[in-house]
Amino acid sequence: MYTDSELRTHTESLGTNAATRPASLIVRALGSLVGRWGFKVVSIESLIENYILEHRLVNGSHLPAEGELAEQLGCEEKALARALRVAENKLKVTRDEKGWVVASSPVVDYHAFSFTKSAETHERKLTTDVLEKEVRLPLSDEDPFGPVERAAQKALGLAEDAPFMVIVRFRLLDGEPSALHRVYLDPSKFKPDFLDVHDFGKESLIDIYAQNGYKTFARDTVLAARMANVYEDGLLKQKYKSEEHKSQNYIPRPRWEVVLDAEQHLYAQDTGGNRFVLEFLKASYFENWKYEIKNRPAP
């Protein structure tokens, strides 16, 4: 349990070079783990904003009772009450007969979700090869990504016999393999010529979503270390047989090398205020998958 005097500075420490992190992890890390394992703590007001984002609360939504909220955030109830009054003065929350109400939802810069924008921020040269872009049904369960595509279908709210849109991109940073991104979308959310009019090798998908009227506001991500699968191993070897990479003296990676696996649900809101899973992402991160979190908003 932490007092408000202990919850004052901003977070510095672990984060990502572009990829992802789960909102629930952030709230637990900032609430329960602050002050331990190298974390610097943040204000209780920030924890409240993280809670609102994680639970996708909108203006008019009620927060839990103070005692319950304090327990979830890992802080003292008195300290939480003071933070809520500060937030009230800033017009972020208000009160009614039932308790505290969200008055102004925290704003998240949608560029924080973008691999492309992150590469620009870190001054890394990003090269993207588009391996696939089409509308189709899931692969068979025998395929390394078959179960993943069934999960994507379910996450997008599609029926088992309904096709999805898939965009597969191989990403290199400064000429080195960085990630394999498999993005799944509901075709009904986009125009029929969506796959034809965009250059997915150069454009940021987050920018494309904004152009289509969608505002991304949160993401849930599961990270896990695993062995590279047959497809990934073959892809890496194939890429480095090309003339473009022969001069880099690339040594084929062993099948047993570990990759970082990320599975992400990206949530968005349309112009009518409806909220849903816009994108299901399956990402494999290869060499140098180092994550750094430096005071970025916790979607």
Low-confidence stretches of the chain (pLDDT beneath 50) = 1-42, 109-111, 243, 245-247, 249-251, 255-256, 293-299
Within a 13 Å sphere around the CA of 293, how many CA atoms are in the beta-carbon half? 23
| CA dist., res. 199 & res. 188, Å (int) | 20
- Is the same domain home to 119 and 245? yes
What is residue 295's predicted lDDT score, i.e. its pLDDT?
46
| CA dist., res. 179 & res. 75, Å (int) | 38
What is residue 120's predicted lDDT score, i.e. its pLDDT?
74
What is residue 43's predicted lDDT score, i.e. its pLDDT?
77
What is residue 214's predicted lDDT score, i.e. its pLDDT?
94
Q: Examine residue 292 and state whether it is found in any structural domain, yes or no.
A: no
What is residue 25's predicted lDDT score, i.e. its pLDDT?
44
Total count of residues recorded for the chain:
299
- Is the same domain home to 270 and 160? yes
The SS3 call for residue 242 is coil
List, in sequence order, every residue forming a beta bridge with 164; answer none if it has no partner.
Answer: 136
| CA dist., res. 190 & res. 169, Å (int) | 19
| CA dist., res. 250 & res. 252, Å (int) | 6
Q: Give residue 273's domain range.
A: 110-285
The distance of Cα 244 from the centroid of its chain, to the nearest Å, equals: 31
pTM above the 0.75 mark?
no
- Is the same domain home to 151 and 87? no
The phi and psi torsions of 121 (rounded to 5 degrees) equal -60, -40
| CA dist., res. 207 & res. 200, Å (int) | 11
User: What is the domain-level CATH number for residue 88?
Assistant: 1.10.10.10
| CA dist., res. 46 & res. 51, Å (int) | 9
| CA dist., res. 299 & res. 294, Å (int) | 14
Q: Examine residue 290 and state whether it is found in any structural domain, yes or no.
A: no
- Is the same domain home to 249 and 121? yes
| CA dist., res. 143 & res. 224, Å (int) | 20
User: What is the domain-level CATH number for residue 201?
Assistant: 3.40.1410.10
Residues whose CB falls within 8 Å of the CB of residue 90, separated by 6 or more in sequence, listed in order? none
- Is the same domain home to 88 and 120? no
What is residue 241's predicted lDDT score, i.e. its pLDDT?
57
| CA dist., res. 101 & res. 105, Å (int) | 10
Helix axes 66-73, 23-32, angle to 10 degrees: 90
The answer to whether 179 and 284 have CB atoms below 8 angstroms apart is yes
Q: What are the Cα distances from residue 189, in Å, to 184, 236, 270? A: 12, 33, 10
- The two three-digit tokens of residue 41, written as one number: 């703590």
Sheet of strand 164-173, all strands in order from the earlier edge strand to the far edge? 126-136, 164-173, 176-185, 275-285, 258-269, 215-227
Q: Examine residue 58 and state whether it is found in any structural domain, yes or no.
A: yes
What DSSP string runs through 33-50? STTSTTPPP--HHHHHHH
- Is the same domain home to 117 and 71? no
